Amino acid sequence: MEYYNYLKSLHLIFVITWFAGLFYIVRLFVYQIEADQKPSPEKEILQKQYKIMTYRLWYIITWPSAVLASIFAFWMLIFTDLGQAWLKMPWMHVKLCFVFLLYLYHWKCHLIFKDLQNNKVKYSNTFMRLWNEGATIILFAVVFLVVLKNAVNWIYGVIGIFAFSVLIMLGFKFYKKIRERNQS
């Protein structure tokens, strides 16, 4: 059991750093997109700095954290008795679906990262601000599933996540109005 606790601790550490990287990278995407609308030479100076920052964050923190979190998770699930028992539980199946969504979210962030590194701006800063909430929603879902270990009430959880998402969007619209009012 102590062996399992070491794996679990390492898994949690890398999940935390993975999410930190995902939260921050999208914020940097927002700044890169906003920098693209600045006049020269400010535009070029900011873009160069943001490219360096995103590159380091993505390849030194976020990707390694994702890989290590996954390695320790698979190790726990496959090579420990407790992990194998959890694989038979419905809440774990739901959690793994959310983890799959997290991998998809991470991959889409990677594609956005590559585009921005090549000066291709395909999304607005508003889209990126909303996109940033995707990781938050997944985090809430996974934490509640792991702590409560109840997949039967996942419908209530989904309704709660949806309500939380609506609150985030309303908060975003309110914040946007305040920003626009302050810029006027």
Is 106 among the annotated ligand-binding positions?
no
Cα separation values, 42 from 29, 48, 49, 112, 139, Å: 17, 10, 11, 22, 36
Is 43 among the annotated ligand-binding positions?
no
What is the Cα–Cα distance from 115 to 100, expressed in whole angstroms? 23
What is the Cα–Cα distance from 125 to 93, expressed in whole angstroms? 34
Quick one: which of 62, 59, 57, 60 has its CA closest to 16? Answer: 62
Annotated binding site: which residue ranges? Answer: 11, 95
Annotated binding site for heme: which residue ranges? Answer: 11, 95
